[in-house]
Amino acid sequence: MSMFKKKTLLTQVLVLILVAPVLAWAGGGGGPFSAGTFSFIKVGLVIFAIFSAWLIKDKMGIPLPKLIQAPLLWVLCYINFRVILQPPIPFSLLAMYMGVCTVAIFLYCSITASSWEEFSHPIAVMLREDHGTAKMSRYATFLIVPGLIAFQTYNQMLPKFGEPIELRTVHPAPPASINVHKKLVTLQTAENPFRIGDDGNYLKVGDESQYFGGNSWTGDVPKFLQQVREGGVVFFGTAGCFYCHGDNLDGKGPFSFAFNPIPANFADPGTISQLQETFVFWRVAKGGPDLSREAFPWASAMPPWEKHLTTNEIWKVIIFEYWHTGFFPRTWG
Ligand code: HEC
């Protein structure tokens, strides 16, 4: 390994060490691993990737063309933001991050004349050479690219039921405290009384993942799943939230298309997974009528459920919504 390469490798490792705390922070808030383990695994994976790239390129002498490196990096970035990063980010943020990554990868490929040459050479060959492979890939490209554009155009023209984009505050600042059934609930400190583990104690946010996918209808059900079941009864029975929010909690219930804005899609990372449980409690208990001025012009059809449900039923349906979607609520910490 030449001196220069040693230096680059060293820089990469140093950058990783600097990035590790950020990753640890990003990995916090639940998941099968604790934040520490999570960042450890992730850093390990990145080091492994760099090591194997070095092994393949410098030791085995197999060069990875820039034209392959670039999309590979892009896909890795996408997997990172879409699957690994917790809590999940909404699409608008994903688009922004991927935009930045695209620019960075483009810079990486074009930073020197030689790297740009390496990146663009295969494209130029494909466009102008006259031998068989170049011709084949030329024809394939000229079929695939217009095909993709046609597909995209078709998809865009297709009528959709989604609500039109409107500039409004989707999650306005909640009040400090609310009165539900003559009891004061302070949103900063309140806890969901049904978030309880097998030992009957409060279940830390994230620890409920052990119950995800569990069957709440079998005989000897853990306490937590009993609450999930009762919350499900509220969702599908007592309250009938599913008429609006849908059987799959995706906001596509039979009534949903009559409303603007349409009912929240809990399966989307932009709703309950961004919110504290107490924020959701406020929204379910008080509905559209209690939305602050900030949320104007918000003609929300969300009913104030305190008029029909007990406080306990509201907390239970919240447990059910998180369990069903597999999301964790935000925490204050
Ligand atoms: C009449 C239709 C309707 C019914 C029934 C209904 N909702 Fe809603 N809900 C809405 C609409 C519309 C919105 C979006 C506007 C808003 O946030 O106020 C909404 C928003 C919400 C939100 C806010 C999500 C966010 O990201 O801010 C929560 C939580 C919620 N509903 C829970 C429930 C629960 C739990 C039930 C059953 C107890 C229920 N809803 C029943 C129409 C309904």
231: nearest Cα among 278, 187, 194: 194
E-assigned strand segments in the chain: 177-180, 183-186
**pLDDT tens figures, 100-153:** 999 999 999 999 999 899 899 988 988 888 888 888 989 999 999 999 999 999
On the question of pLDDT at 255 being above 80, the answer is yes
Query: Which ranges constitute the DSSP H helices of 85-131?
Result: 91-110, 113-128
CA distance 18 to 21: 7
174: nearest Cα among 278, 327, 305: 278
Ligand 1 centre to CA of 295 (Å) is 15
On the question of pLDDT at 34 being above 70, the answer is no
Both tokens of 66, joined, read 């820039």
Question: CB of 66 within 8 A of CB of 109?
Answer: yes
Tokens 């080091």 sit on residue: 47
More confident residue, 278 or 45: 278
pLDDT of residue 145: 93
Query: How many other C-beta atoms can be found within 10 angstroms of the C-beta atom of residue 198?
Result: 11
For residues 28-52, give the mean pLDDT: 69
Mean pLDDT of the chain: 84
Question: CB of 281 within 8 A of CB of 318?
Answer: yes
pLDDT of residue 169: 76
CA distance 20 to 89: 20
Ligand 1 centre to CA of 161 (Å) is 18
> What residue ranges define each of the domains in the chain, with the CATH number in brackets?
3-157 (no CATH), 177-325 (1.10.760)
On the question of pLDDT at 11 being above 60, the answer is no
For residues 312-325, give the mean pLDDT: 96
On the question of pLDDT at 87 being above 80, the answer is no
Nearest CA to ligand 1 atom 2: 244
On the question of pLDDT at 235 being above 90, the answer is yes
Nearest CA to ligand 1 atom 20: 264
Q: Is 308 in the pocket of ligand 1 (CB under 6 A)?
A: no
Q: Is 227 in the pocket of ligand 1 (CB under 6 A)?
A: no
Listing DSSP states for 52-82 in one string gives HHHIIIIIS-----HHHHHHHHHHHHHHIII
4's enclosing H/E stretch is helix 3-26
User: Per the confidence metrics, is the pTM higher than 0.95?
Assistant: no
Nearest CA to ligand 1 atom 36: 241
Ligand 1 centre to CA of 155 (Å) is 28
The torsion angles phi and psi of 276, rounded to 5 degrees, stand at -75, 155
Ligand 1 centre to CA of 118 (Å) is 54
Q: Is 108 in the pocket of ligand 1 (CB under 6 A)?
A: no
Tokens 């900030």 sit on residue: 294
On the question of pLDDT at 190 being above 50, the answer is yes
- Among 262, 302, 316, 327, residue to substitute to test ligand 1 (most atoms within 8 Å of Cβ): 302
Nearest CA to ligand 1 atom 39: 241
Beta strand 177-180 pairing with 183-186: antiparallel
Question: CB of 190 within 8 A of CB of 180?
Answer: no
Question: CB of 272 within 8 A of CB of 142?
Answer: no
CA distance 272 to 329: 7
- Among 161, 170, 235, 245, residue to substitute to test ligand 1 (most atoms within 8 Å of Cβ): 245
Query: What is the pLDDT confidence band of residue 232, given thresholds at 50, 70 and 90?
Result: very high
Both tokens of 268, joined, read 């989307």
Q: Is 35 in the pocket of ligand 1 (CB under 6 A)?
A: no
Query: What is the pLDDT confidence band of residue 26, given thresholds at 50, 70 and 90?
Result: low
CA distance 251 to 159: 18
Q: Is 174 in the pocket of ligand 1 (CB under 6 A)?
A: no
pLDDT of residue 30: 45
For residues 70-96, give the mean pLDDT: 84
On the question of pLDDT at 29 being above 50, the answer is no
Q: Is 263 in the pocket of ligand 1 (CB under 6 A)?
A: yes
Question: CB of 317 within 8 A of CB of 76?
Answer: no
On the question of pLDDT at 329 being above 90, the answer is yes
On the question of pLDDT at 300 being above 90, the answer is no
Atom number in ligand 1 closest to CA 275: 26
Q: Is 244 in the pocket of ligand 1 (CB under 6 A)?
A: yes
Q: Is 172 in the pocket of ligand 1 (CB under 6 A)?
A: no
DSSP state of 3: H
- Among 244, 256, 316, 324, residue to substitute to test ligand 1 (most atoms within 8 Å of Cβ): 244
